[in-house]
Amino acid sequence: MSFEKISNKLVDFFLIPLLVISICGSISLLPTLLQLVPNKAILFVIGLLILAYVGYSLLRVKEKFFRILNKIKKPLLIIFICITLIWQFMLVRALSGEFGWDPRFFIGYIYRISSIINDDKIYLSLYPNNFMLLIIEKFFQAIFNIKTPNGLILGLNVLNIFIIDVSVFLLFLAISKLFSKRVAWFTTFLYWLLYMIWPFVVIPYSDNWSILAGTLFLFIYSKNQNFKNLFLNFCFGTVTAFALLMKPSTVIFIIAIVIIKIFFSLQRKKKIKVRKLFKIIVSFGLGFIILYSPVKSYQQHNHIANIESSRKMPLTHFIAMGMSGGGGYNASDVTKNIEIRSPRKRNNYNIKLIRERLSKMGFGGYLKFLVQKQINNTADGSFGWASEGNYLYEPFERHLNKIEKHIRSLFLNRDVNQEYLIADVNMNGYKFFPQIIWVVALIFILFATIGDSHETLQLLKYTVVGGFMFLLLFEGGRSRYLIQFSPYLFTLAGLGIDKFISRCVNTL
C-alpha cells in the first residue's frame, strides 16, 4: 500500500466516524427547531421553492435567456455584493450593543472602566493569549480617536464586516487556485449562507480574526504549495505568529501541512534537501519572529494591563474542564484554578482532576462522553449564537428603519426578568434554516472525503480532524469554537457539492 493511501486511510479512520456523529446530532435538532418556525416563514419558503422549480423548468429550454444571463452576470454579482454589504451594516446598526464574557473586558481595559476591570483584575494574566486582540482594539481606538465605549463597539463591528468580507474574497481566490472556480463558488455560497448574512458581525472577538487567519493560510499556501518562494514563506511565518497570538488552535493547519508533506515526500521517494529545508525554516522563522517577539515583549512591559505570567491557566485546566458536564466552561474549575497561586500546584491539581474524571467514567463511559461532546461541539448550525448568557444585550441604536426593526425582532427578544432586549438563542424560530443548511453541508463534507486522496484534500481533512480532536480534548461544548475551522469545513462541503454534481451529470 502506498504512503498516500496509508495517510488517507489514517485520516478517514477518525474523520468519517466523527462526521457521522455530527450529522446524526445535527439532524436530531431539526424536529424541535421546526416546531418553532413561524407559519408564514414556512409558506414563504415553500412558495420560493415552487417558483424556483417552475422558473427552472421554463427557462432551461430557452438558451437565449442563458446567453443574456451570461452577459449580465458581473452586474448581477455587483448588485448581490452591494445588497449583502447593506444587510451587514443594517445588522450592525440594529444589533450592536452591550455584551458579556471576554469581549467586555477589552472595552473595560481600553477605557479604564473600573466597574468592569474590578470584576476580574487578573483576566489577562489568566488568558494572556487574548493580549493580541486587546492591542488591535486599542490601536483601532487610538487611530480613529474613538471617545466612547459604545462608539468603539460600533467601530469594531464595522471592522468585523471588513474582516469577514475580505476573508471570503481570499477564500475564493485560494480555492480557485487549489481546486477550481466552480468549487470556489460553491464554497463561497456556503460561507455566505451560513456566516456572512448572520449576525456574527456584532461580536468583536477573536472568532472572526481566526477566519481571516485560516483564509490567509489557504491563500498563501495556494500560491506557494512547495514553499519555494522565500517571501511567501516569510509571510506564512508572520501569519502563523498572528494566528498563534490570536487563537492558538488555528495553527493546527500548520501541523496538518507537516504531516502531509512527510507522507507525500515518502510517497514520491524524494530525499529531503538540507539546503532547501534550511531556507524554508529560516524564511518562515524570520516571518514568525518579526511579529511574535515584539508582541510578547510588549505583553510583559505594557501600560494597558498588568500581566502576571505565573497566573496563566495551564493546558491541563482546559483538558480537565473539557471532561466535565457537556465538555464546556466549568465555573467551579475556573474558580479553583484562580485560588491556587502556585503554577506547579495548579497543574498538579488539574492532573489529579483529569485522573479522577477518567476513573469515574471508565473507558466505555469516556467514549460515550466523547460522542456526546462531538455532538455538542458540531451539531448547532447557528455556531452557538446566544448560547452563552449575556452574549449580546441592550442594543444602542434607537432610531431604526423598518428593515432594521425587523432584524432586531429576529435576533433579540425581551428578557422577562431583566426587562431588556437580549440575544435569542432560537432566533425567534428562524434557527431551523441555518440548521438544515448545516446538515446538508455536513453530508457534502462526508461525500467529499470518501474515495479521493490527493494531497490538498488530505490537508483539509487533517486540519478538520485536528480541529475536531482539539475540541474533544480541550474545552468545547458548543459549536462557536468551530468558527475558526469554518474555511476548511466550507471548502470540503464545496468539494462535496462539486463531486456530487459531477457524478450526477456523468450518470445521466
Q: What is the pLDDT of residues 418-473, one digit of tens each?
A: 678 888 888 988 999 999 999 999 999 999 998 778 899 999 999 999 999 999 99
Query: 104: which residues sit within 8 A by CB, 6+ positions away?
Result: 98, 116
Edge-first strand order for the sheet with 393-395 is: 97-98, 393-395, 421-423, 412-414
Write out pLDDT tens, residues 298-324: 998 888 888 888 889 999 999 999 999
CA distances from 461 to 62, 453, 488, 500 (A): 41, 10, 8, 18
Range among 210-214, 225-229, 263-267, 399-403 rated most confident? 210-214
Residue 61: the pLDDT is: 55
pLDDT at 452: 78
pLDDT at position 67 over 70: no
Between the alpha carbon of residue 195 and those of residues 252, 317, 376, 413, 435, the distances in Å are 22, 31, 19, 21, 12
Lowest-pLDDT range of 214-223, 270-279, 369-378, 495-504: 270-279
Decide if pLDDT at 283 tops 60: yes
pLDDT at 64 over 70: no
Q: What pLDDT sits at residue 31? A: 94
Helices and strands (DSSP H and E) totals, the chain: 22, 4
The helix/strand/coil state of 31 is helix
**Residue 419 burial class via C-beta count within 10 angstroms: exposed 0-12, middle 13-18, buried 19 and up:** exposed
DSSP code at position 128: G
Secondary structure of 294-328 as H, E, C letters: HHHHHHHCCCCCCCCHHHCCCHHHHHHHCCCCCCC
Residue 120: per-residue pLDDT = 56
**How high is the pLDDT of residue 175?**
97
With a cut of 60, say whether residue 119 has pLDDT above it: no
For the chain, what is the mean pLDDT?
Answer: 90
- Residue 118: what pLDDT? 59
pLDDT at 68 over 70: no
Residue 23 has pLDDT above 60, yes or no: yes
* H-assigned helices in 379-401: none
Higher pLDDT pick, 265 / 71: 265
pLDDT at site 116: 64
> What residue type is assigned to position 426 of the chain?
N
Please list the alpha-helical segments (H only) found in 301-421.
315-321, 331-339, 343-378, 402-411
* pLDDT the model gives residue 235: 96
Average pLDDT over residues 157-183: 96
CA separation for the pair 385, 194 (Å, rounded): 12
Q: Is 394 helix (H, G, I), strand (E, B) or coil?
A: strand
Contacts of 131 (CB under 8 A, 6+ apart): 124, 245, 295, 299, 302, 305, 307
Question: What pLDDT is stored for residue 12 in this prediction?
Answer: 93
pLDDT of 115 > 70? The answer is no
388 vs 479: CA distance, rounded Å: 11
Residue 247 has pLDDT above 60, yes or no: yes
What percent of the chain has pLDDT above 70? Answer: 93
What is the pLDDT averaged over residues 114-128?
73
**Residue 204 β-bridge partners:** none
Confidence bin at 489 (pLDDT 50/70/90): very high
**Region 219-236 average pLDDT:** 95
Q: Where are the domains of the chain?
A: 3-36+72-312+379-507
Q: How far apart are CA 155 and CA 145, in angstroms?
A: 11
Higher pLDDT among residues 63 and 170, named by residue: 170
Helix (H, G, I), strand (E, B) or coil at 144: coil
Return the pLDDT at 69.
Answer: 62
Are 478 and 387 a contacting pair, CB within 8 Å?
Answer: yes
